[in-house]
Amino acid sequence: MIKLLHLSDIHMGSGFSHGRVNPETGLNSRLEDFVGTLGRCIDRAIAEPVDLVLFGGDAFPDATPPPIVQEAFASQFRRLVDAQIPTVLLVGNHDQHAQGQGGASLSIYRTLGVPGFVVGDRLETHRIQTRNGPVQIITLPWLTRSALLTRPDAEGLSLSEIGHLLIDRLRVALEGEIRRLDPDVPTVLLAHLMADNARYGAERFLAVGKGFTVPLSLLARDCFDYVALGHVHRHQVLNESPPIVYPGSIERVDFSEEKEDKGFVLVTLERGQTAFEFCPLPVRAFRTIEVNLSTSNTPQADLLYALKPDLIQDAVVRLIYYTRSDQLDQLDLAEVHQALSSAHSYTIHPELISQLSRTRLPELGVGSTIAPIEALKAYLTNRDDLQEIAADMLEVAQSLLAEEEHIWLQPETVASLDAIDPLESVTPQDTQLRLL
């Protein structure tokens, strides 16, 4: 039995806009969050201890991270070297220079010959000896079209035809690795890709270049005892036998992930029978607070009431409130900023609602048969700003309706309508009368 820790999509160095400078360290607080969360993953790997750590790709937001970010990443993984826990670092799309051309940010670990570190920057099988026996790891890094096709290969083909050709090329290349496997040794496919039935997370917005979608049938092979995926930030299990698992990212990157659990996966690997467990991590909370003040008589009080201390304490907060222009003078933004001061960081997004774009009342919808005076009453009931003159408006409306009814009941009016010949030319005045 071999114990693995599977994590992915660290993206260390991203999300600085949601942080602040720590005056004691001079570092962005979000960088410290990412370092702390990665540290908890490494803590668990050492405490178990696991026999092997698998990283599914995307160490940084791009292939050229600042030195301080590279140092923070390396200092945590160095602890695995000291604990003599072998590690496989897979290259993801964010780790590559120019979509695969020019190397990858993780290649330095192979160049330096870091003990126990394997860098997966090509489709290749690695046999690794752990404390509890050997394991085979097939590394499948993020592949671009140029990695599998030349320009002449794709000439004259539609996008759909190119997609099918890419999958065919990948299937052949993967089959070549599978045929060289030792059937008696546990095997893991470690891949950074987009599976065809996976649900997206923030990687939809973070992707540097367009890849292609891989069918699940290509991954669900009996020769694999576990398929460790990276790229999708939302934890999900795509298949049970063999287990095909995205651990998700270890930290929230932005507000698109505020409702997602973050963590890593512990795997107990055996030939033909594998068990796994998702381990959630205590990460920084992201909170979106939306408040509609447009119908409120006390907008300031209602806005402050929505800013509950237990929601915003130490969280990254996005406050969105909707208000009318005539309510702006009733809002004290200094008091709002004070109420948000316990948040880790926050942004405020006011949205001005036009008074001309009110929601239609159901009783006044298309096909309504409500009497005109009742329609006016319904309208005035929902207009707080017209309450002072509502009675006068109803009185005038009733007077106008009574006068109109009197005009239409006069005998001379009825006779004038009957006298109009629809086939003869009519004057503009006649036309107006017909429209009435």
Mean pLDDT for the stretch of residues 137-155: 78
pLDDT tens digit string along 392-403?
888 888 878 776
Confidence at 363, pLDDT banded by 50, 70, 90: low
Per-residue pLDDT reduced to its tens digit, 172-213: 999 999 999 999 999 999 999 999 888 775 545 444 345 678
Pairing of strands 236-240, 243-246: antiparallel
Mean pLDDT of 91-98: 83
Torsion sign over Cα 226, 266, 268, 55: positive
Does residue 119 have a pLDDT over 60? yes
Q: What is the mean pLDDT of residues 222-242?
A: 95
For residues 259 and 234, is the Cβ–Cβ distance under 8 A? no
By CB atoms closer than 10 A (0-12, 13-18, 19+), residue 182 is exposed
pLDDT at 413: 45
The neighbour count for residue 7, using CB atoms within 10 Å, is 26
Cis peptide leading into 49, omega within 30 of 0?
yes
Q: Give a three-class secondary structure readout of the chain.
A: CEEEEEECCCCCCCCHHHCCECCCCCCEHHHHHHHHHHHHHHHHHHHCCCCEEEECCCCCCCCCCCHHHHHHHHHHHHHHHHCCCCEEEECCHHHECCCCCCCEHHHHHHHCCCCCEEEECCCEEEEEEECCEEEEEEEECCCCHHHHCCHHHHCCCCHHHHHHHHHHHHHHHHHHHHCCCCCCCCEEEEEECEECCCCCCCHHHHCCCCCCEECHHHCCCCCCCEEEEECCCCCEEEEECCEEEECCCCCCCCHHHCCCCCEEEEEEECCCCCEEEEEECCCCCEEEEEEECCCCCCHHHHHHHHCCHHHHCCCEEEEEEEECHHHHHHCCHHHHHHHCCCCCEEEEEEEECCCCCCCCCHHHCCCCCCCHHHHHHHHHHCCHHHHHHHHHHHHHHHHHHHHHHHHHCCHHHHHHHHCCCCCCCCCHHHHHHHHC
pLDDT at residue 97 above 90? no
Q: What is the mean pLDDT of residues 354-367?
A: 56
**By C-alpha distance, which of 304, 297, 306, 301 is closest to 327?**
297
> Do 306 and 314 meet the contact criterion of CB atoms below 8 Å apart?
no
pTM for the whole structure: 0.77
pLDDT 10s digits, 247-282: 999 999 999 999 999 999 999 999 988 999 999 999
Q: Are 156 and 136 in contact (CB under 8 A)?
A: no
Please give the pLDDT value at position 164: 81
Please name every residue paired with 352 in a beta bridge, in sequence order, or none if there are none.
323
- pLDDT band for position 335 (50/70/90)? very high
Say how far apart CA 275 and CA 243 lie, in whole Å.
Answer: 8
- Give the integer Cα–Cα distance in Å for 227 and 189: 5
Question: In one letter, which amino acid is 101?
Answer: Q
- Write phi, then psi, for 3 (nearest 5 degrees): -105, 130
Q: What is the pLDDT of residue 104?
A: 77
